[in-house]
Structure formats: C-alpha cells, structure tokens
Structure 1
Amino acid sequence: MTRRLLLIDDHALFRSGIGMVLTTGLPDVEIFEAASLDEALLCPCEEPDLLLLDVQLEGLNGLDGIAVFKRKWPLAKVVMVSAIQDSQVVNEALARGAQGFICKAETPTRMLELVEQVLRGQMPITGERVPEGVVAQQAIKLTPRQCEVLDLMSRGLSNKMIGRRMNLSENTVRVHVQATLAALQVSSRSEAAFVARRLGLVN
C-alpha cells in the first residue's frame, strides 16, 4: 500500500533533499510538497499518512497549523521539523498534538529512521529530550476525577472552564490539577498533556 507523505517547508532545497531521502529509503511512498500552510491545504492527495511540518513558516507558523491539519486530516500523523533545539518548542508541539519532533541537524539516515518510527506508530523526539519526568503507565495512579481533569486540561481548558464543565469550584479544580501533575511527575500543564498522550491516557 502506498503511503502519502506531505512535506511543508518554505525552503525548497530542504523539501527536495528530504524528499529524495524518503523516496529512496522508504518503499511505496508518494511525496507531496508545500511551501506554506495555505499551499498544503490545497494538496491534491485525499489524506496524507504523515505530515512533516516545519515550525517556522511565513504567515501562520507550524505550531498553529497543527490544529488546522488535524481538523482537515484527523488520521494523519504530524511530525514537527525544526533547526531549533528548544525544549519549550518541543513540549508545545507535542502538547498540541504532534506525534514527534525531528531536528534538521539529524543526518539523512537518522531522519529516515525517525520517519519510519512514526509510520510504525512510535514517537521520536530529537534534540533535547523532554520532559524528563516520563513515567511508566502502570506506575500512574489517577482517580476517575483526575482522569477527567487531565482530559479537559489536555484540551487547553483553564481551571475556571474545567470547573464549569465539572460543576466544581476553581479551587477544587486547582487541587485536582496539582495532584494530577504530581502523579505524572511533571511540572506544567503542557508536559502533562504530552505525557498523557504518549501513554494513551487521553486522545
């Protein structure tokens, strides 16, 4: 079965180079290219299997584009590609729903390996590995209420909005949030969302 890959980067040389690497190294792939988010949305393929999305694009940046592509192609995997090795950028990309993050400094061989991992359902992260507090799923003990808070928190809802959804006071929600962060061994909501998605605790 042919796998469709969409490369979204405003540098034509990078698109051409990684396109050649993927075409040569992966069996049965069809490569599509776009220089911007707008151009990517006009891609002629029905639904790509994988999007390689640059973080820094003119106009709407790659991070903001994740949600746009998830709405258009809900089954497509999204991997951010960037020359920036910043833990905050990595965390934000993964918290917004990206399946992986690949640094442009990787060798072509290594980048090919990472793309293959994503297509197999694994999650590669290169550059600064974050967060450090990733724990085994079986070690996590969350109450049903904390699981519900985690789900809403991972969707980007504030404590106030979560309280309205769950009919709880904002202070009570704050307590649940802190307990959930402690259980996941993370220090921020974005890290909690990343760990939760990685472990399959939320969609």
Structure 2
Amino acid sequence: MPARIIIADDHPLFRTALGHAVAAAWPDADTVEASSAAAARAALQHHADCLLLDLHMEDSQGLSALMDFRQDFPALPIVIISASEEARVYAAAAQLGASAFIPKSASLQQMREALVAVRDGDQWFPDAEVEADGDLAKIASLTPAQRRILDRMRDGLLNKQIAYELDISEATVKAHITAIFRKLGVISRTQAAMLSAKLDVDQPAANTPSA
C-alpha cells in the first residue's frame, strides 16, 4: 500500500515544492493537497502516513493548530512548515509533538532530508540550542475546549460573548476559565493571554508575568 501524505498549505506554489520533496522521499506516495486546516482534517479521516502542516492558513494561526492535530491524531507524524526562522519556534514545535520543522527558506535537498528522516521514524529540526519551556507544557495540558476559550479570551471577548460563540452557558465558561487559570498558574485574563502568546510564530513570545 503506497504511503499517503497530506500537504496542508494555502500557497499552491509551495504545495508544489513540497510535493517534489515528498516524491523524493516517498517515490510512490499518494499525495493529497489541502489549502486549509479543515480540508486537512477531512483528508485525515482516511489513512495517512504523514501530515505536512503550514502554521499560517486562513483557519489556523500559530502552534495551536499543531496542538489540535496532535490531540486528535496522536500517532500521526506531523511536519511543521513555516516562514519562521526563530529557534524558540523550532523548539516549541518539537516540545508540542512535531516530528520535524521545515523553514520555508529551506532548499529542496533540506526538505527531502527532513522528510526522509521522518519516513525512517526519526526527527529533523534546524540546529538550535533552546531549553524546553515549562509554560508550553502548561498550555499543552489544556483540553481542546479550554484552548478554544483561551483563544477567545485573547481576543478580548467577555464571558457572555464566549458562551454565545461556543453555544455553551456562561457558568460553563466560568468553570473553564477557573480551570485554565489553575493549569496555567495565573490569576488574570491578561496573564493567561500573555502566556498563550508563546503559541504565536510571528512575534516574540511574552514572558510570563509574575502573579
């Protein structure tokens, strides 16, 4: 049975480039292209051997997308594709369960090397000496429902607005926020939002504020 590889990127030309790299690593692979996280998720309802995931698409921004796919497909190798060249982003992707990180500036040969490593059960990341981040472990401990609420808190929504958007009661929102604060070790929405900024890939992560 040929390998089935999902390429999720909203730029057609870059999907083509990734397709060439996939063909070099998996010569007989069945490649499926997706221009959104939703389309990739739909494709993953069938068998897949690897997901190549762009961190910036219309319906996904930052490392939250990696966390969502990792949660729902725990055994699936996920290769992150990103324009970011920050060492902290490479390290964060590794800590959150990615198998590889391919910067969009990488050559076709580097892309192939990364995919061959993943194909063979290894990992591949650009050289970077960065320690594991305890705050990311806290964020990773949140449930998908709690992460959805945290995202809306970052957008400045009030409890009643979050309840309306997610079709849940305000009491449920409050209970989730209490759990979020406890897991993240913070005491305010501002502190929670600043900590969750570490999932962003296009700006420096904020330091966790002191309580």
TM, length-normalised to structure 1: 0.61
The structural deviation recorded for 1:62 is 4.7
Query: Is contact 1:6-1:48 (8 Å) kept?
Result: yes
Q: How many residues align?
A: 146
Q: 1:12 Cα deviation (Å)?
A: 0.7
Match of 1:20 in 2: 20
Aligned to 2:129: 130
Q: How does 1:1-203 map to 2 (within 5 A)?
A: 1-43=1-43, 46-126=46-126, 128-131=127-130, 155-156=140-141, 161=183
| C-alpha deviation, 1:155, in angstroms | 4.4
**Stretches (4+) displaced over 6 A:** none
**Identical pairs, percent:** 29
Q: Deviations over 1:118-155 (max 9, x none)?
A: 121211102x513269xxxxxxxxxxxxxxx9xx7684
Alignment CA distance shift 1:162-1:46 (3 Å): same
Contact map agreement 1:48 1:73 (CA 8 A) in 2: no
Q: Which amino acid aligns with 1:114?
A: A
Quick one: structure 1 residues 20 and 100, their matched pair in 2 at CA, closer, same or farther if it must change by over 3 Å?
A: closer
> 1:3 and 1:91, CA in 2 relative to 1: closer, same or farther beyond 3 A?
same
How far apart are residue 79 of structure 1 and its match?
Answer: 1.2
Q: Distance in 2 between matches of 1:85 and 1:74?
A: 26
TM-score, structure 2 as length reference? 0.59
| Aligned residue identity for 2:78 | V
Q: Which amino acid aligns with 1:43?
A: A
Cα offset for 1:44?
6.4
Report the Cα offset of residue 111 of structure 1: 0.8
**CA distance in structure 1 between the aligned counterparts of 2:66 and 2:44, rounded to whole angstroms:** 19
CA root-mean-square deviation: 3.0
SS at match of 1:42: helix
Name which of structure 1's ranges 52-61 and 17-26 shifts more when overlaid on structure 2.
17-26
* Aligned position for 2:153: none
1:74-109, Cα deviation, whole Å (9 max, x unpaired): 221111111211012112222222122111222112
